[in-house]
Homo-oligomer: A and B are copies of this chain.
Amino acid sequence: MPQLDFEVITLGHGSGGVLTNKLLESGVFDLLKNPILDDHHDGAIFQLEGKLAFSTDSYVISPVFFPGGNIGELAINGTVNDLAMCGAIPKYLSLSFILEEGLTMQEFWEILLSIKFAAEKAGVYIVTGDTKVVERGKGDKIFINTAGVGQIHPKAEISSRKVQAGDKIIVSGNIATHGIAIMSVREGLEFETSIESDTANLNHTVKELLDTFGSDIHLFRDPTRGGVATVLNEIARDTKLGINIIQKNIPVIEEVYGACELLGLDPLYVANEGVFMAVVSADVANDFLAKLKTLENGLDAAIIGEVVEEHPKQVVLQSKIGGKRVINMLVGEQLPRIC
C-alpha cells in the first residue's frame, strides 16, 4: 500500500479535483498500469477487428470480503465470464467505483490488489474508469461496475436458436458453492464451514473449448443469480423446447449439499460464480466433457441432462429416488446481494 496522507475515503475523493487526482495518482493508476489507461483521457482508445461482444454488471455483494475472495475479483471475473459466455475473448474492461464515505484505504487497496491480479490472470486490461463517493449511509462500503469488450471467437456460433432436441447440457463444476460460501458469513445466518467461493475467470477454458468444438457448442451460460434452475428455465423459454435433468448427475460438494439441507435450500437455485453451463450437440458431448475435465476449473464437470421435444418450455428433474418434478424459475429472492 502506498504512503498516503489519508486513511479513509472522504467525499472530496469524489470531487473530480485535487483529492480525486491524489487518490488516482497515488497508486491506482500505477497498480493497473497499461499503455491505454496511461493516456488519462475521458475514455480509452483502441483498435479491435471483427465481431465484438459488450457486457456490463454492477456488483453489490455483501459482505465485501468473503471466504474465497472479495468484491474486486468478483467484478473482474463476472464481466470476463459474461463475455466468455457470448463466445468472446475478453479484451478491455472499464472499472467504476461507488464508494461510501468512511471506507478505509486499507480495504480499498486490498480490493484494488484483487482487481489487479484477477485482470492479469484473465488477460484483460482495465482501460478506463470512474470514482464516485456517496455520504455515509447512502451506499454500503463499495459498489463496483465493470463493463467489458471482447472479440467473438472466430469459430463461435453461440445462440439459443442453435439449440435442438438431443443436445446435451453440461455444467463445468460443482454447483451452489459460491452462494453457500456467502450465506455462511451473512449476518444473522453465520454457520461454521470451510466452504469458499469458487469465483474464477472461465475465459481461458471457454476459449480452448471453442478452439476444439467450435459450432458444436450451441450455448454457454453462467448460472449466477437464480442458479442453475433459472438458467435452464430461460433456455427452455427462449428455445421453446423441453429440458430433462437427472438429479444424481448434478455435481455438488458434500459440505455444500449438507449446508443446503440445513438451510432448506435446493442447490439448483443457489448462485454460482466459477461455473458455466454449456449446451452442445450430442455427437461431441462425451469428447467435450473429457476435454473440459482436463481444463482449468473443469475437473468436476458433468453431463446433467438433455434438450427434448416433450414438455416445451418446461424443465423436468428426475430425482434420485426416481420421481419426476417440474423445476421452475426462482421466485422471490433467495438471498439478496449474492454478487
Contact = CB atoms under 8 A, between A and B. Distances in A.
A152 interface: yes
B55 A44 contact: yes
Given A17-B226, A58-B130, A332-B15, A221 B42 contact: yes
Interface in A94-137: 94-98, 127-130, 132-135, 137
Interface stretch (A140-148, A164-172, A241-249, A284-292): A140-148
Contact of A47 (B16, B51, B332): B51
Given A18-B330, A86-B45, A135-B336, A94 B55 contact: yes
A333 B11 contact: yes
Interface in A32-80: 40-60, 62
Copies in the complex: 2
B94 A54 contact: yes
A332 B12 contact: yes
Q: Tell me whether chain A's interface is mostly helix, strand or loop, or mixed.
A: mixed
Given A149-B149, A238-B40, A329-B21, A54 B46 contact: yes
A329 B18 contact: yes
Given A12-B332, A16-B230, A98 B45 contact: no
B129 A56 contact: yes
B16 A224 contact: yes
A331 interface: yes
B94 A58 contact: no
B224 A43 contact: no
A14 B149 CA distance: 24
Contact of A139 (B46, B128, B140, B230): B140
A215 to B, nearest CB: 15
Interface of A: 10-12, 14-21, 40-60, 62, 82-83, 85-86, 88, 92, 94-98, 127-130, 132-135, 137-140, 143, 145, 147-150, 152, 158, 221-222, 224-226, 230, 234, 238, 269, 271, 328-334, 336-337
